[in-house]
Structure 1
Amino acid sequence: MKLYPIEAGNFKLDGGAMFGVVPKTLWNKTNPADENNLIDIAARCLLVEDGNRLILIDTGMGNKQSEKFFGYYSLWGDHSLDKSLAKYGFHRDDITDVFMTHLHFDHCGGSVQWNKDRTGYEVAFKNATFWSNDNHWDWATKPNAREKASFLSENILPMQESGQLKFINRPQTDFLAESELGFGILFADGHTEKQMLPHINYNGKTIVFCADLLATAGHIPIPYVMGYDTRPLLTIDEKAKFMNLAAENNYYLFLEHDAHNQIITVEQTEKGVRLKEVFSCEDILG
């Protein structure tokens, strides 16, 4: 098995929204805001090469939305999914599986693109199977008012219409379920219904793709919960359980949204779980 970080682009989000009820005087120390109160955010995906399979975990925002839409998110830097794939000698047509942690636009927008004459949409990975789970799919395709702006039908429905969509089988009792993709999955419901976090055994280490359960290293303290979460008290419970396991088992936490910290470990301290070490993807993934 080989793992490759895929940088799908950088953007900015409101720091207050990213940290919920936590005062700016605290979160600004780890995630400094600009003059518009915006903080740096990454869309860092992960490519898993395992035998004949090439599995892409999340796909970033994509590029099909309007200039007005992207203007809300202050895109910056020159990363793109295609350039990042090419860096490692791959093309999107090589991808066999696209695994979506959840269907918010900044995680799955790159899964769908305009067709050639821009009259409609098509999947951006023509040879891939797209993976979600039935509970989350139902949640995303019949969105609540709070998440409606994050679940965009043009990002989601073409996967089903293409016939390339499959659902992960979800056991009812296991905290960490095994999947047909060769890695374990933690299901978490605080951010959105049935978000999926891959746990990958790699060279004697457990790499966890943290998605939105742990957005940045600045979110390590348990009460630091995003304002975007639909069930913040549940996030606190899920995060406490996960972070304790991460400290006990020395998980390597792959941060999808932290523009400046790529992989971290955590440890138990007298103040609770706190940051232990910061690594580059090259340090851990090779």
Structure 2
Amino acid sequence: MKLYPINAGNFKLDGGAMFGVVPKSLWQRSNPADANNMIDLTARCLLIEDGNRLILIDNGMGDKQSSKFFGYYYPWGNDSLENSLKQQGFQADDVTDVFLTHLHFDHCGGSITWNSDKTGYQTAFKNAHFWSNKNHWQWATQPNKREKASFLKENILPIEESGQLKFTNLPKTDLLKNSALGFDIFFANGHTEKQMIPIINYNGKTICFMADLLPTVGHLPLPYVMGYDTRPLLTLDEKEKFLNLAANNNYYLFLEHDAHNEIITVQHTEKGVRLKHIYKTNEIFN
């Protein structure tokens, strides 16, 4: 097995929205804001090469939305999904599976592109299965008013129409062992219904793709929960459970949205689970 970080692009979001009820005087210590109160974020995806399978976990916002749409998210830097795949020696047609932790636009927008004459949509990975789960798919295609703006139908419905959609099994508790994709999946319901957190055994290490359960290093303290979470009290419980496991077992936490910190480990302290060490992906993916 080989692992590759794939940067699908950088953007900014309002720091207050990213940290909910936590005062700016606290969260800006780890995530400094610009003059517009926006903080640096990224869409750091993960590519798994395992035998004949090439599995891409999440794929960023994509590039098919309008300039007005992207204007709300302040894109910065030169990274893109296509270029990042090329840098690792791959192209979209090589991907056999696209695993979507959840269907918010900044995680699945790269799944779908315009067709050649921009009259309709097509999948960006024509040879891949796209993986979600039945509960989350229903949640996203029949969205509540709070999340409706994050579930864009043009990112979601063409996947089903293509015939490439697959569903993972659902666990009896919160952990699905040995899934069809070759890794375990932790299911979390605080951010959105049945978000999936991949847990990958790699060269004797446990790599956890944290998605929106832990967006950045700054979100390590339990009360630091995003304003975007639909069930923040549940996120508190899920974070506590997962971070205790991570500290007890020296998990390596791959951060999808932290623009400046790629992989971390955590440890128990008097203040709770806190940062132990920060790694570059090339230090772990050797």
Structure-1-length-normalised TM-score:
0.99
Match for residue 231 of structure 1? 231
Would the aligned equivalents of 2:56 and 2:97 in 1 still touch at CA under 8 Å?
yes
Q: Equivalents in 2 of 1:192, 1:171: separation in Å?
A: 16
Shift of 1:121: 0.5
Report the residue type matching 1:187 in the other structure.
F
Q: Equivalents in 2 of 1:6, 1:207: separation in Å?
A: 15
Match for residue 222 of structure 2? 222
Would the aligned equivalents of 2:174 and 2:187 in 1 still touch at CA under 8 Å?
no
Q: Equivalents in 2 of 1:171, 1:41: separation in Å?
A: 31
Match for residue 71 of structure 1? 71
- Counterparts of residues 1-286 of structure 1 (less than 5 Å): 1-286=1-286
Would the aligned equivalents of 1:170 and 1:177 in 2 still touch at CA under 8 Å?
no
Range with greater deviation from structure 2 (239-248 or 169-178): 169-178
Q: Equivalents in 1 of 2:175, 2:102: separation in Å?
A: 18
Q: Equivalents in 1 of 2:139, 2:16: separation in Å?
A: 26
SS at match of 2:268: strand
Question: What are the ranges of 5 or more consecutive residues in structure 2 without an aligned counterpart?
Answer: none
Shift of 1:174: 4.9
Q: Equivalents in 1 of 2:189, 2:248: separation in Å?
A: 23
Report the residue type matching 1:10 in the other structure.
N
Following TM superposition, the consecutive aligned residue runs of length 4 or more in structure 1 with deviations greater than 6 angstroms are: none
Report the residue type matching 1:251 in the other structure.
Y
SS at match of 1:178: coil
SS at match of 1:283: helix
1:266-285, Cα deviation, whole Å (9 max, x unpaired): 00001100000000011111
Report the residue type matching 1:203 in the other structure.
N
Q: Equivalents in 1 of 2:256, 2:178: separation in Å?
A: 22
Report the residue type matching 1:234 in the other structure.
L
Shift of 1:178: 2.6
Provide the aligned length of Structure 1 versus Structure 2: 286
Q: Equivalents in 2 of 1:274, 1:5: separation in Å?
A: 24
Would the aligned equivalents of 1:191 and 1:231 in 2 still touch at CA under 8 Å?
yes
Report the residue type matching 2:51 in the other structure.
G
Report the residue type matching 1:166 in the other structure.
K
Structure-2-length-normalised TM-score:
0.99
Aligned-residue identity in percent: 74
Question: What are the ranges of 5 or more consecutive residues in structure 1 without an aligned counterpart?
Answer: none
Would the aligned equivalents of 1:115 and 1:122 in 2 still touch at CA under 8 Å?
yes
1:102-155, Cα deviation, whole Å (9 max, x unpaired): 000000000000000000101000000000000000000000000000000000
Range with greater deviation from structure 2 (175-184 or 41-50): 175-184
